[in-house]
Amino acid sequence: MKYLPLLVAALLRRKARTLLTMLSVTAAFALFGMLDAVRVAFEAPESLIGIDRLIVASRFSIIQPLPLGYLSRIQSVAGVKAITYANWFGGVYQDPKNFFPNFAVDADTYLAMYPELVLPPAERKAFLDTRTGAIVGQALAEQFGWKIGDKIPLQATIFPRKDGSNAWTFDLVGIYGVSDPALRGLERQMLFRWDYFDEGRDPRYRPGTVGWYAVRIDDPTHASRVAGAIDRQFANSADETKTQSERDFQRSFAKQVGDIGLIVTGIMGAVFFTLLLMTGNAMSQSIRERIPELAVLKTIGFSDLAVVGLVLAESGALLVLGGVAGMALAWSTLPAVRDLSAGQLDVTMQPQSWELGLCLIFLIALAVGLPPALKAKRISIVDALAGH
């Protein structure tokens, strides 16, 4: 603590330089916070929720549906505890810009399979009782100002109705929340009943088929064994399956969009490299100017170690203040980004981004502070005081 006034004095020595250096650190970490939030969102959250779920879809391609008849055959596989199914609908609400995922589900089993979707019991009952019923997430309901009892028209892009029209209408019977704020992305979905969808669709669009099955297994460590057993059931049939964990299923989608991780790493690499040069330059400049002062400190009995510590603390303070401010800035602007993009870009900074950011702050502070610190350690008192 007794060194604190020294540290403050060092930072305030050139207020302008300190401020500008800190602001460039802030800019770099603000960018890091935002981009890393995007990266994390694309790599699917590392949560324990859903670890015991498998997704069974067509092996040949995502557009091939599976027969509903597979339901009981999958159920009979050892290790399968529960099963549900769903079908992508891809409906458009008013304008393609309003994109949100919407799909047909088997109401009862789907809600049991996904306990993280929290629906009040009365609304749950209404969903089970209403053939034309639909439920939406809180975030989506807020975005479009929907209330329970509203009729929501969706324009089909894939599945026309029996009469050939594309207009499907659903009754909003429930609004669900999520059990964990990290899963807020799930609140931008609309779910409606598969039986209503299956009866209503044009008979040429393969009624009696589902897009995918979701399966709960009794023990997550048996996932690959159960997945293999399911796929063997249907090997060499007209509709072969590919069973994978829910997280792998999501990841394979993210991977197809592109290597977001690589792009983010590339940009951040350029940013941090520059940052390293910039703060490193400012630090070494500041130490160069203070060589006589450091010599005085040594003369009056500061150990080499204490001087090294002081210099490192200075770079640490610059990085921590600027970096944390930057990440806080990112954290607080991301909600605004969500509103500006009409909910399309809805990411939040997760704890793992904070951890990674703090690690980076520490590493950069060390990389920036160490060379001038060692220089300060090496100065000889006599030379420095003599002005050599």
Partner 1 sequence: MPWPDTEAIVGGLRKPLRASGLALAVSVGLWAWFTAPLMLLAPVALFAVWLIASTQGRQVLAIAWMGIVTIPQRLGATSVVLVGIAGVVGVCVALQAMAEGFEATLRSAGDDDTAIVLRAGADAELSSGLDRAAVTLIAQAPGILRDDRDVPIASAEVVVVANLPKRSTGTDANVEVRGVGREVWLLRRGVHIIQGRRFKPGLRELIVGRGAQAQFRGATPGSVIRLNNQDWRVVGVFSSGDAHESELWGDAESVGAAYRRNGFQSVTARLVQPQVIERLAAALTHDPRLRVDVQTTRAYYGKQSQRLTQVIRGVGTVVVVIMALGAVFGALNTTYAAVAGRSLEIATLRALGFTAVPVVLAVMLETMALALAGGLLGAGVAWAAFNGYQVSTLGSNFSQVVFQFDVTPALLLQGVQWAVGIGFVGGFFPAVRAASLPVIHALRAQ
Q: Which of 6, 27, 229, 296 binds partner 1 (CB under 8 A)?
A: 27
Task: Say how far apart CA 176 and CA 174 lie, in whole Å.
Answer: 6
Region at 350 (left for phi over 0; alpha for psi -120 to 50; beta for the rest)? beta
Q: Which of 35, 111, 287, 294 binds partner 1 (CB under 8 A)?
A: 35
Q: Which of 47, 75, 94, 281 binds partner 1 (CB under 8 A)?
A: 281
Q: Segment contacting partner 1 (CB under 8 A): 100-108, 138-146, 153-161, 171-179?
A: 153-161
Instruction: Determine the length of the chain.
Output: 388
Q: Which of 223, 230, 282, 318 binds partner 1 (CB under 8 A)?
A: 282
How far apart, in Å, are the Cα atoms of 10 and each of 13, 66, 70, 165, 325?
Answer: 5, 69, 72, 74, 20
Q: Which of 116, 123, 240, 293 binds partner 1 (CB under 8 A)?
A: 240
Q: Which of 31, 283, 307, 376 binds partner 1 (CB under 8 A)?
A: 31
Contact 287, 294 (CB under 8 A): yes
Task: Say how far apart CA 208 and CA 68 lie, in whole Å.
Answer: 6
For residue 152 the two structure tokens come to: 């929501």
Least Å distance, CB 115 to partner 1, is 30
x/- site string to partner 1, residues 283 to 322, per CB under 8 A? -xx-------------------------------------
Least Å distance, CB 327 to partner 1, is 13
Quick check: 24 binds partner 1 (CB under 8 A)? yes
How far apart, in Å, are the Cα atoms of 39 and each of 180, 272, 304, 342?
Answer: 19, 17, 43, 20
Quick check: 17 binds partner 1 (CB under 8 A)? yes
Contact 32, 357 (CB under 8 A): yes
The shares of helix, strand and coil residues in the chain, as percent rounded to the nearest 5, are 55, 15, 25
Q: CB nearer to partner 1: give 13 or 306.
A: 13
Least Å distance, CB 23 to partner 1, is 5
Q: Which of 1, 4, 48, 257 binds partner 1 (CB under 8 A)?
A: 257
Quick check: 261 binds partner 1 (CB under 8 A)? no
For residue 137 the two structure tokens come to: 């997430």
Question: Angle CA(6)–CA(16)–CA(270) in degrees, nearest 5?
Answer: 100
Contact 211, 56 (CB under 8 A): no
Give backbone dihedrals phi and psi of 253, rounded to 5 degrees, phi first: -70, -50
Residue numbers at the binding site for partner 1 (CB under 8 A): 14-17, 19-21, 23-24, 27-28, 30-31, 34-35, 59-64, 90, 92, 96, 155-158, 160, 164, 166, 204-205, 236, 238, 240, 252-253, 255-259, 266-267, 270-271, 273-275, 277-278, 281-282, 284-285, 341, 344-345
